Structure 1
């Protein structure tokens, strides 16, 4: 199982963002995509479940090239789940249970077992009747993630998942990702939070000047400084 980009190019109007990106995330791993603010991490992540279509190059999931017709995108998004930075962009129902059930119901699947499993994975048992607009920021983030997990994806894309979380929330998210990985879901994370990245990542890639400038099983302090990454709360790995 792999999800990858080959020679990916993308521009917003006349502003090039991705300029020949080659990127690969291996099945069963947590791959972390790092880079300066504005480097294009979110743009790259959105290519992997068809939220954006490349200007040239291609995306492959398990060796199959992604197509952009309606049916193909529907199938792709069942397999490749996406967690947005802001949970307000993802929560669609008044209650947590209703929101987590929304995806499976649209697939014509009985959501009961999926809702229970997703909430249990994220420590949200008993939240089914809680109103989404009364949740804390961290709870909204976990409820949104539960909705993605209820679709039973093979791949999970997390866009700046620590945004708005305090230290306890980040620690809990690290534990959640470990449980998700144990469920044989391949995880790709875009983040600028090095401490979090090092706590969860198996492999690392740095997006710089529109291409992948570094990839490997580790990233040194010197490399982090070179790429303009924040190095506080940083331990070499």
Structure 2
């Protein structure tokens, strides 16, 4: 990884139980979310658009989100057509021709952090992932989980921007119970990861990673949805970035 990566708490169960069905159009409505998304992510905003134009854009976005969301398997990570393609150039061509793909990736970034993840506080991992901060035996469970976590999901951020991957609360628990295999020396990011891992484990949360996400938009979303600000008071904040 050569881009700026960040690591955040993620309400994995809420995402799958409540948000994925909405993304698929099985329940609820995305109208208000799409309206806010358009306001935040449209260049120059949408205030100059007519009411009919805005309504048309909302409908178009919802149709795109529903269509693409229903193309994933139950993990909501594997796109049934895209992940059959093995050649990198063919994959890039497929995404370039997939109608609404760019908007879908941007919406996923916005929607995950609006509903079931907090942008702040997070770990700024810099130009790399989690693995490089530790020495881990490749035969361990920790190596397997972190290795998969660090692997970028090309569908969600083919242009190297957006949500890159996540791990479940179950994976967090397994990683926490195997943390004696996470070896490091004098590394603030490693310390911060163990802090975030501990918090995620104790609160039944997962973790989500992003690459070069649109910080100026995400920092406008509500924070402390998962852990209250008071809940961070007695926690070692070294290596964690809080809202300025």
For the criterion TM > 0.5, the same-fold answer is no
Q: Which has the higher contact order (CA 8 A, sep 6+)?
A: 2
| More strand, by proportion | 1
When normalised by structure 1's length, the TM-score is 0.34
